[in-house]
Chains A and B, each alone.
Chain A
Amino acid sequence: MSDPLLSVRDLKVSFPSEAGRVDAVRGVSFDLHPGKTLGIVGESGSGKSVTSLAVMGLLSESARVEGSVRLGGRELLGLSDKDMSGIRGKDVAMVFQDPLSSLTPVFPIGRQIVEAIRIHQDVSPKAAADRAIDLLRLVGIPRPETRLKAFPHEFSGGMRQRVMIAMAMANDPKLIIADEPTTALDVTIQAQILEVLKTAQAETGAAVIMITHDLGVVAGSADDVLVMYAGRAVETAPVNEAFYAPRMPYTIGLLEAIPRVDTPRGRPLVPIAGNPPLLIDLPPGCPYVARCPIAIDACREKEPDLLPVASDLGARVVAEVGEVPGQDSDLDHRAACIRAHEIADRRIGGQPVYPVPEVPENRLAAVPREERPTVLEARNLRKEFPLVRGAVLKRKVGTVHAVDGVSFDIRQGETLAIVGESGSGKTTTLLEIMNLSAPEGGDLIVGGVSTASLSKAREQRALRRDLQMVFQDPASAIDPRLTVFDIIAEPMQAIGTPKDEVDARVSELMELVGLDPAQIDRFPAAFSGGQRQRIGIARALSTNPKVVVLDEPVSALDVSIQAGVINLLDELKAKLGLSYLFVAHDLSVVRHLADRVAVMYLGAFVEHGDVDTVFDDPRHPYTQALISAIPLPDPIKERTRERVVLRGDLPSPTDQATGCRFVSRCPLHLTLDSSQQQKCREVVPELTRGSDQADHLHACHFR
């Protein structure tokens, strides 16, 4: 095999901090050949981004970097910033997570691409501009000649990320580092961007380092996988072996912890206990030992080395997925676990490495849906925002139909999930419900009381007892300056619960959500992200609500933590007979947690029904596209299945012509004959019951 393009040996990075030296990366080694893709997977703080920044020479001056990073035989560590500048952008290019903050807002994007080209190449401005147009066309930006003069804010998030990729390609780099390139994007856009990255790689022949927490993205794009934990590689393997025959318990845990969109609900997820260790003065032994279900005494003595393990998919896997063709790979299968040789097929000694937790029986499941009381009902919910123009004399130039006639009901003990891309109006729907505002048309009924009938603040407050909310980001949803007690007690104090009752209830709630009641006087800063979300859940449950509104409750959490919170929500629902209204963009979580699902597009439902029915047999082309856009953590399925890739972005929900909202992006529309197309453009499809299913509504003329 040829020489590797990038060769990293024993890379170590440490930072100063108030608490002591943080060893962010503690000896990472890998090789990468031209044209190959390496996926680096890990949770927050595992050191994956720091590794890539060290390769780019972009770490702050206070960081101490040791080891060796050789690009095409040239040592990069220790180069001056000036020398590195000659390499950055030319030989090594980077695509960052947030395309909004990576582009300068004050210059048109054309000028920024031209600048990127002319820094490294001695070409005329004209030639550079022509090259920029070619690049933009290559990454799929329509009308590149005119878009060259547009500013970053005139592009959508997906389009900006395309521009970033065009800039990264500008000088035909040998290595492209993509740091969570699609994390800030919607799934449909994510699918587009991953395609563009593949185009970029094919066009430039570059090697790619794909840094992500999403195992689905890795399964679809990487040749090799490097799993990082506590600043070290704990398992490296070719992609198929990493997914089908993982040997390190942490890798196995990550794979078991993610909900999958292709499995029916009912199977509980396997959470990984505990939190990643603090990277300051690590004790001897395996850093994963505190969370590992198969730890033995020897694990605590010495940190295991990353040693080669037998490269073998195992008989069961071969039977299931067939013999995987051998690929020439940069990394051989290695695992840092002293019991790796005992593990095969995610089992050890015949038992699963991670025992599957029990699901509590939901006693309400036995009662048919129609016989359960309705706890929340929305009838024809609408929310419009005026679109105004002019600085002094504001005049209304249009209307944004953020929510346009949404109806649903939630029965006791049931979870309704609303899914859709950003801008689909799902969060506005939530806020309208939480505001308890008398609707602009239609009606909102909470526990049998219509919000239109509320006149006094006191009545509204009484209604809030039945309706509580859990927010997306636990770091911002709980006040960092209050103690856990004050946080959990706040809703009870707001509705005037007697003081001694509050005291008893707070401890009870902490136990209910799996927190130690002894920590009642701590501040949120003393808790990890998953624990903070548990505090948020305890707060929402404190008033014994009938409905809990969940706004992306796990999307801000790491995979291993996410599973625990999802299981907790499942358990609470069964124990307390709660109903959830759940808003999410992650369809795998929805499939796992919801009983019913509504797919929202531009302010209206396009499909609505039982979750398994909708996921197994999606009718609306939009639902089909959404489901097919989700990456599966299964390399063979992910690479062989057919995708419906949507073109373009979500249009803005302003005044629209008649007809189907989805017509501009609809893949089905293109296949229809002209009279049918006309119907799509002119007649608004109603949400109707399909001919065969009873509990499955969709809004498409031709399905």
Chain B
Amino acid sequence: MTEVRDPHVVGGIDDPAAVLVDAAPRRRLSKRRLYLRRFLRNRPAVAGAVIFVLLVLFALLGNVIGSYDYLATDFVNIATGPTADHWFGTNQAGNDLYAQTVHGLQRSLAIALIVSVLSTIISALVGASAAYFGGLYERGWLLVIHFLMVVPTFLLLALLSNSSGGDWRVIALILTLTSWFYAARTIWTMSLSLRERDFVTAARFMGVPGIKIVVRHIIPGLSSLLILQFTLGVVGTVMAETGLSFLGFGVKAPDVSLGSLISEGADQVSSSPWLFYFPAATLTLLTVSMALIADGLRDAIDPNSASGGTA
């Protein structure tokens, strides 16, 4: 008996204010501005965003102010602590740790962003199209997704990346292939309800081709979820890459990533602690800032959160 949908009732008990605002169209905020305003109200999220921007600037421009190349070795200063010359100190080979941290951050960020972008796109396309088309197509993809979910992907990842010789591009590719399916499963579930919405039916009745409906009507409807997936994906990828490198399966010398730096530093944490603490602090800042941003985005996008202000 749900045939008569009725808007004449003001809200439920939860949020009558939202409905009242909805009933009046004129002074409405655009969704984007509304999200921005709610995001900016969240102080930790703003702090996260600021830290993240600073980290990106550091990765891009750190080389400009540093005086050493990350591969250059300084035989006068081997395994010395932070000095006016080597701000973060040097390692056993005489590499400047500041330059190495900048380069490692660059690598880690590049891998994280590429993997997040790719896996978000793949998961959105696979999840949404599986839900829209249904039938054998849907069952096929679900089979693939469920199969990948039970395979111990981290081991697979370790083996493959080890045999690739530690090229960061291969690692990015492998990380993408092993990370898209969790997101795809979530997107599939969300798309199932979008598929039933009238505007999707309307497009179908107009004769709009299926793939166009997926790209134009279903995927944009998931944009808030996708933004979150992307943000959390960055954190996840940095962690996964660091984990791999820490175990020795990730980026190999002479190339460095935050993970390989931390791995190296951990071995000498008692004799040369700076080798561990500087890269570890950078990694912590990166993941914490992304997590704060993701948290702020979730609150801003979620209509039920308490960031609506007070009367």
Contact = CB atoms under 8 A, between A and B. Distances in A.
Interface stretch (B21-29, B149-157, B259-267, B290-298): B21-29
A495 B207 contact: yes
A275 B208 contact: no
B309 interface: yes
A434 interface: yes
A464 B4 contact: no
A395 B85 CA distance: 79
B308 interface: yes
B30 A47 contact: no
Given A50-B10, A555-B4, A60 B206 contact: no
Contacts of B34: 18
B23 to A, nearest CB: 3
Nearest to B29: A18
Interface stretch (B67-75, B140-148, B196-204): B196-204
A49 B37 CA distance: 30
Interface string B9-41: 111011111111101111111110010011000
Contacts of B5: 472-473, 555-556
Interface size class of B (residues with CB under 8 A): 35 or more
Interface string A37-57: 000000111111110010000
Contacts of A59: 13, 16
A184 B199 contact: no
A387 B217 CA distance: 32
A180 interface: yes
- Tell me which of A18, A482, A528 has the highest count of chain B C-beta atoms within 10 A of its own C-beta: A18
A275 B206 CA distance: 30
B310 A60 contact: no
Nearest to B218: A479
Given A45-B19, A479-B199, A526-B25, A97 B9 contact: yes
B7 interface: yes
A554 B34 CA distance: 30
Contacts of A278: 21, 23-24, 26-27
Interface residues of A, number: 82
A507 interface: no
B310 A16 contact: yes
Nearest to A99: B1
A15 B24 contact: no
Interface stretch (A19-27, A312-320, A351-359, A679-687): A19-27
A526 B7 contact: no
A422 interface: yes
Interface in B177-236: 197-199, 201-203, 205-209, 216-217, 220-221, 223
A29 to B, nearest CB: 19
A157 B1 CA distance: 6
B10 A45 contact: yes
Contacts, number: 198
A50 to B, nearest CB: 5
Contacts of B201: 471
A324 interface: no
A257 to B, nearest CB: 14
A417 to B, nearest CB: 15
A22 B1 contact: no
A428 interface: no
Contact of B25 (A461, A482, A493, A528): A528
A179 B21 contact: no
A239 interface: no
A22 B22 CA distance: 11
A38 B33 CA distance: 43
Contacts of B31: 525
Nearest to A426: B3
Which residue of B11, B31, B202 has the most chain A CB atoms within 10 A of its CB atom? B202
Given A60-B15, A471-B202, A479-B217, A17 B309 contact: yes
B27 A280 contact: yes
Contacts of A525: 25, 28, 30-31
A45 B20 contact: yes
Contacts of B17: 15-17, 22, 24, 62-63
B27 A183 contact: no
Given A43-B8, A180-B9, A528-B25, A469 B202 contact: yes
Nearest to A532: B25
A251 interface: no
Contact of B1 (A21, A185, A213): A185
A495 B203 CA distance: 12
A62 B37 contact: no
A21 B311 CA distance: 6
Contact of A24 (B16, B30, B217): B16
Contact of B7 (A47, A471, A495, A529): A529
Contact of A15 (B4, B30, B203, B311): B311
Contact of A184 (B1, B16, B223): B1
Interface in A527-542: 527-529, 531, 539
Contacts of B311: 14-16, 21, 62-64
A186 interface: yes
Interface of B: 1-11, 13-21, 23-31, 34, 37-38, 197-199, 201-203, 205-209, 216-217, 220-221, 223, 308-311
7 contacts: A15-B16, A19-B27, A46-B10, A49-B9, A49-B11, A157-B1, A278-B24
